[in-house]
Amino acid sequence: MTPATPSAASAAPPPASPGQPAFSPAAAPKVASPAEPLLFIVSAPSGSGKSTLVREILRLIPDLEFSISYTTRRPRGSEVNGREYFFISREEFEKRIRSDDFLEYAEVFGYWYGTAWSFLEDARRRGRDLLLDIDVQGAAKVLVRCPGAISIFIAPPNRETLEWRLRHRAQDPEAVMERRLRDASREIAAYNKYQYLVINDRLEDSVERLAAIIATEREARKGAGTDESGRQRRELARSCRQQVSAPLLAPVLRSFGVEMEVGKPGA
């Protein structure tokens, strides 16, 4: 059985305008406080190292909360209910769809995953920014409803490394791993829908880049960002802008059998 058709997720998108807050009031009527947190969306093909990176970033960066998704898949490895995910049944997931609990939800690798509105509301109440680790379908939906969100794509250095990381993690049955690898080619082709691109080769470099992107976007919101101390960080963030860094992705795409579309700028 598939979940009921979403009512909220198919709502008409609010119009985009310069200086727009991350959450459009029209798209988020339940939110009460006027403070506007930044919303960071991080997506990547499975096994790229996104969860590892996100974990490091959450330890490093203050006032940044993680949106814990709901999923119908079973816990993996050392995952704990309420920490990595809320693990719920299909029936419970469908009930939540009907209650309009989700900002977005999608089927990924045969299971349902969804982002709860309540995380956005809580982040706003607490004056924190929010980080979403969601797939490319979910990211597209959130960007329609929250046009001010900042989107970041994490790519592996190449297909071989992705496969090695998935196998080394050793938490998925062979069939699941194969499916994740198969879907990686489709997912990686979505890189040009994102504002930023980070190729996760050396973990420390990727953490530094992700931290620079978040700090730079925070400065931009405050209208700050002219001090010399932040110059290098801003430059690093700029080098991760998709239009700037996309050429570095060409060999990565080729390793997945995907050709870069020349002359077709992304987001």
* Residues of this chain that bind ligand 5GP (CB under 6 A): 46, 69, 73, 104-106, 108, 113-115, 133-135, 137-138
Long-range contacts of 255-260 (CB under 8 A, 24+ apart): 255/158, 255/159, 255/160, 256/159, 256/184, 256/185, 256/188, 257/185, 258/185, 258/188, 258/189
Taking the least distance from each CB to ligand 5GP, the nearer of 87 and 236 is 87
**Radius of gyration, alpha carbons of the chain:** 18
Quick check: 71 binds ligand ADP (CB under 6 A)?
no
Residue 158 touching ligand ADP (CB under 6 A)? no
Nearer Cβ to ligand ADP (24/67): 67
Residue 47 contact among ligand ADP, ligand 5GP, none, beta carbon within 5 to 8 Å by kind: ligand ADP
Smaller CB distance to ligand 5GP: residue 54 or 213? 54
Stretch that binds ligand ADP, among 26-34, 134-142, 202-210, 222-230 (CB under 6 A): 202-210
The nearer residue to ligand 5GP, 134 or 258, going by C-beta atoms, is 134
The entry of ligand 5GP, ligand ADP, none near residue 231 (CB within 5 to 8 angstroms by kind) is none
- Report 90-149 residues binding ligand ADP (CB under 6 A): none
Under rule CB under 6 A, residue 58 binds ligand ADP: no
Q: Is 245 among the residues that bind ligand ADP (CB under 6 A)? A: no
Query: Among residues 37, 47, 138, 147, which is the contact residue for ligand ADP, using CB under 6 A?
Result: 47
Q: Which residues, 6 or more positions from 267, have their beta carbon under 8 angstroms from its beta carbon?
A: 151, 192, 193, 194, 195, 242
| Comparison of 145 and 180: residue with beta carbon closer to ligand ADP | 180
Answer yes or no whether residue 43 interacts with ligand ADP by CB under 6 A: no
Q: What are phi and psi of 252, to 5 degrees?
A: -65, -45
- Which residue, 206 or 216, is less far from ligand 5GP as judged by CB? 206
> Which range binds ligand ADP by CB under 6 A, 46-54, 135-143, 190-198, 250-258?
46-54
- Cβ 226 to ligand 5GP, closest distance in Å? 35
Phi, then psi, of 2 in degrees rounded to 5: -100, 150
Which does residue 151 bind out of ligand ADP, ligand 5GP, none, counting CB within 5 to 8 angstroms by kind? none
* Interface contacts to ligand ADP, rule CB under 6 A: 44, 46-52, 165, 168-169, 200, 202-203, 206
